[in-house]
Structure 1
Amino acid sequence: MNREYSVDAKRSLLRDTWLMKDTGMVPFMIELGPFHAAFKEYIEDDQAELDWNIEYHRDREAFLDFAMPNIKPNLGIGIIAEAFGCEATNNREADPWIKPRFREENREEIKALEIPDAKTNPAFVRAYERIEYLQSRSDLPLRLVNVPSPLVSASLIWEYTSFIEATMLFPEEVHLLMEKVTEATIAFVQEQLRRIENLYTMGHEMWYIPRETGIRISDDTAALMSPNLYREFGVKYNSMISRAFGGIVVHSCGDVQNVVVPMMETERLKGLDFTIPQNPNWEVIRDSAAGKVPLCLRHFYWDHGDKAQVDLAAYTKKILDYFGRQGVMIQTSTPDAESAVPLSRQLMELCL
């Protein structure tokens, strides 16, 4: 069934969708199974991660969507925080747990915090070792290693609750940390781009994002910010990243109704990526962004709740009826490939 769309045809369709062109098709993607984080057994074993990726895409051959085989060199969303000296604990429940270095009480120490060297920092070197291992043993293209937004990384380096409070109480110190984190993030991604021989996408998730579109970042801390705080600490530093890579796609889980308007002010914004069941106010997203920038709208089966019985095709139709089709991409999932096959057929008819 995958023969109906070649890799080149999928890339062309997605490239045009990122450009807001009328393609006659809404691209959709069906991921499989529960969340695959940087669990201990994978983060400590490059071969295990490679084997998982190969098996995953072998299972995906049973159905059609608009993703393509690739490898995610997953090391967790805390990699920038690790590079700044935060202790990471590998575990079997989630990405490595990050122990913050700063709180309100020792915020003055941020002045002496050194920006990690993009070539020699041990956390980054580990990432390059994984990249080299994977690309030397597979012909599949690679995504980037996890790209957290400056806000996400800073809220790991500075204890989360204290950090949110500090954006209001100690903005000078927060800006200083954000500046250092942003510089480190840009340098780390640039070094990855020098090392990855066959790049799949400008991000760490599975949507194909051409290099000329810009970079995708995960900005989950955004959902906790007020509009003005997000302008000051989110938009400013995301725009710096956008300038470095010629554009930016901003992802945020959670309820973004308070920040979607300032998000649209990000320089060279090329798209927004939201977990739509977590957003009760679709109107503000539609009125602010639909038809203006591409929208990646996610609803994995587990985004609806552990016990929810949701018709994923019907929910997709609800999304398209509300947000329209121009520049819209649908990202969903099923527990396994067997259940993805009929969903793929439904979505192919729905998205034409």
Structure 2
Amino acid sequence: MDFMKMVAEVERLYPVERLERAKARLRAVWERRMPPDRMPFVYIGLPAPPDKEAFDMWDGICSNERLLEEQLETIIDRAQVDDDYVPSLSPGCRQGTIPTAYGAIEQRSADHTWVLPMLRDPKDVYDLGHPDFTREGVAAELIDRVRFFRAATQGRVPIQMADMQGPLDLASNMWGTEPLMMAMYTDPDAVHHLLQLMTDAFIEYVRLLDEAAEGDMVPIHCMPVNWMPKSAGVALSEDLLAVISPRLYPTFARPYNEQVADAFGGVVIHSCGSVEHNLMLLAGTRGLTGVNFSATETALPVLVDRVGGKAVIISHYGDVRCNDLPKLTPEEHVRLCMREFRRAGASGIILVMPLGVERDEMLAMNPLVKQLTQMSGA
């Protein structure tokens, strides 16, 4: 496979002028300014052409060569969409990235790869060593992939950070969600010890990823089509935000996220599920620069009111719905975002998902989305 021929095609389809326009909008949002012409939006890809075989790029079931080929093909294919996408390559999304370096085991079931908790007793947390993330587990695999991507493209395509769970989710993957949350009451010292280990591991590993990317890492993964300047910090996933109580969150989550923010100059937090019960506490996170939630799981008006004045809102939507929130079409989601952003004088990034919409429809609605996201108008 001639990867450099594909890279040259990417550069032809995404000239510097196009990228600078997109980055100007995105940078304005991250700097808490209004964008120059319209709110930035990014298509989460296009539905594959009818003759293209479905491809699962996230669960470690293909070679680096095949993964790179697929991503470059996707970047080339989506160039016909006029949005604010900035090409980059993603090393992947694996729950076992950090835990497997400590010895946790991955298990594949239902077309997904899970990590099995390895801690059985509170005292086990004190026996955890310090793994070499460049040599052990999925952590090493993804670093090797980043190096391969850089070499195969001669460093001409930026690298997205891997989809990284934050300290709380890492602790949950290591111990199990229910045992971890029970231990917050029965063995809080052990929980704090584990959370500190996971915080240190997160910070170390993100720095190793950036080093492997030769400093050309895009420090966000939610979603892995977004662009964010390094001045905004780094992103982490904290799906336990949806289930942990407001009583526990300030003690067992926020301080560790603040350490991440201190290390990188800011933190962007993603969670699936309904997180309305923790939004006020989340907004109080020192160094919070952005949040990413689904508008069909967490009510966007509530999110904008509680967090919009503190951080950039990245809104997407999905098939999962919580608390009787309505199902959204792509157009309905864009209109909802613009209505709420205008109401609150907030800015954000709108992710347009190809759910329940055919490829031709997604392409045809592109002019409408551009019109709807103009800074003036209804």
TM-score by length of 2: 0.84
- Which amino acid is 1:30 matched to? Y
Q: Say which is worse superposed, 335-344 or 12-21, in terms of deviation.
A: 335-344
The equivalent position to 2:360 in structure 1, one of 320, 338, 350, is 338
Say if 2:101 is the partner of 1:86: no
Contact preservation (8 Å) 1:19, 1:327: no
Inter-partner Cα distance in structure 2 for 1:4 and 1:185: 33
Say if 2:207 is the partner of 1:181: no
Deviation at 1:178, TM superposition (A): 0.5
What's the counterpart of residue 51 of structure 2? none
Any gaps of 5 or more consecutive residues in structure 1? none
Deviation at 1:197, TM superposition (A): 2.6
What's the counterpart of residue 114 of structure 2? 97
What's the counterpart of residue 130 of structure 2? 115
Inter-partner Cα distance in structure 2 for 1:293 and 1:166: 31
Residues 86 and 243 from structure 1, CA distance in 2 versus in 1: closer, same or farther, beyond 3 angstroms? same
Deviation at 1:343, TM superposition (A): 2.3
- With a CA cutoff of 8 Å and minimum separation of 6, indicate the structure with the bigger relative contact order: 1
Say if 2:260 is the partner of 1:248: no
Inter-partner Cα distance in structure 1 for 2:15 and 2:370: 14
Say if 2:59 is the partner of 1:39: yes
Contact preservation (8 Å) 1:41, 1:92: no
Inter-partner Cα distance in structure 2 for 1:222 and 1:135: 34
Provide Cα deviations, 1:72-107, integer angstroms capped at 9, x if missing partner.
01141321111221101346712x21111123xx22
Match of 1:70, SS? coil
Alignment of structure 1 residues 103-142 onto 2, 5 Å: 103=120, 106-138=121-153, 139-142=156-159
What's the counterpart of residue 170 of structure 2? 153
Contact preservation (8 Å) 1:2, 1:63: no
Deviation at 1:171, TM superposition (A): 1.4
What's the counterpart of residue 349 of structure 2? 329
Inter-partner Cα distance in structure 1 for 2:301 and 2:332: 19
Contact preservation (8 Å) 2:122, 2:183: no
The equivalent position to 2:333 in structure 1, one of 315, 323, 328, is 315
What's the counterpart of residue 199 of structure 1? 216
Inter-partner Cα distance in structure 1 for 2:60 and 2:16: 38
Alignment of structure 1 residues 285-324 onto 2, 5 Å: 285-300=303-318, 302-303=319-320, 310-324=328-342
What's the counterpart of residue 10 of structure 1? 22
Inter-partner Cα distance in structure 1 for 2:202 and 2:264: 12
The equivalent position to 2:33 in structure 1, one of 9, 21, 24, is 21
Residues 143 and 65 from structure 1, CA distance in 2 versus in 1: closer, same or farther, beyond 3 angstroms? same
Contact preservation (8 Å) 1:30, 1:344: no
Count of residue correspondences: 343
Percentage identity across paired residues of the two chains = 22
Contact preservation (8 Å) 2:19, 2:86: yes
Contact preservation (8 Å) 1:116, 1:184: no
Inter-partner Cα distance in structure 1 for 2:373 and 2:217: 24
